[in-house]
Amino acid sequence: MELDFEVDKLTNSIENVVTGDSFRTDVILISKTDLKNISKKNKWLFDWKFEFKQPQRDVYKLTIVNNETVIQGLMSVEVKSDHVYMHLVESAPFNKGKTKMYAGVAGNLVAFACKLAFQRGYEGNVSFFSKTQLVQHYIETLGAKHVGGRIMIIGKISALKLINKYFPNEKKT
């Protein structure tokens, strides 16, 4: 995994890794029609149909502006009593690994979860689960705190930093 590289991607956009071109993005709720091609057969890792069926969870898709049919990544979140819990984030199969087409998909979606947490009055607090080997990576890249076990939390200050990085033109509520 490549961790050290120069970053100038400071907008709510994703970057074509070959050309370096940036494309502005939208994050919107997924529909049943979107789910048709999202399956393990099409190289998605998680069962997104299951996520969609859970009444307490909201599944969002990240798309390029004016190209809503091509899903760049998905996120499943649940609004808890004191924070937003990020169940899952997954980049589209063509945005995974060394041959990915666009960079910045996961970061955009995490920043969106932080924005939701501010909108819900939870001071940007977002929790998620991490594998042991990725704890340090999340601490360094997201400013997340390791609470114990598999629990990670993005607090107010880190959430603000992420929102400023990925959504620099939007005001916090």
Partner 1 sequence: MKKKHKDLDVDFIGEQSAMTKEEELAISQFLKKEKQKSKKQSAQTHKRRRIKDKQMA
Pull the structure tokens for residue 91.
């980049």
Pull the structure tokens for residue 130.
């991490």
Residue 118 contacts partner 1 per CB under 8 A: no
Q: What x-and-dash track marks residues 46-85 binding partner 1 by CB under 8 A? A: xx--xx------------------------x---xxxx-x
Residue 124 contacts partner 1 per CB under 8 A: no
Residue 120 contacts partner 1 per CB under 8 A: no
What's the min distance (Å) between Cβ of 106 and partner 1?
Answer: 5
Binds partner 1 (CB under 8 A): choice among 14, 27, 38, 89: 89
- How close are the terminal C-alpha atoms of the chain, in Å? 35
Element (H, E) at 20: none
Asked whether 75 and 109 are in contact (CB, 8 A), the reply is yes
Residue 128 contacts partner 1 per CB under 8 A: yes
How many other CB atoms are found less than 10 A from the CB of residue 173? Answer: 8
Q: Quote the CA–CA distance of 173 and 27 in Å, as a whole number.
A: 17
Residue 125 contacts partner 1 per CB under 8 A: yes
Q: List, in sequence order, every beta strand (DSSP E) within 35-139.
A: 57-64, 67-79, 84-91, 102-103, 126-129
What's the min distance (Å) between Cβ of 125 and partner 1?
Answer: 6
Residue linked to tokens 């070959």: 18
What's the min distance (Å) between Cβ of 109 and partner 1?
Answer: 8
Site for partner 1 in 14-43 (CB under 8 A): none
Residue 106 contacts partner 1 per CB under 8 A: yes
Binds partner 1 (CB under 8 A): choice among 28, 150, 168, 172: 150
Please report how many Cα atoms fall inside a 13 Å half-sphere around the Cα of residue 151, on the Cβ side.
10
Q: Quote the CA–CA distance of 56 and 48 in Å, as a whole number.
A: 14
Which chain residues interact with partner 1 by CB under 8 A?
1-9, 45-47, 50-51, 76, 80-83, 85-91, 95-97, 100, 104, 106-107, 110, 125, 127-130, 134, 137-138, 140-142, 145, 147-151, 153, 155-156
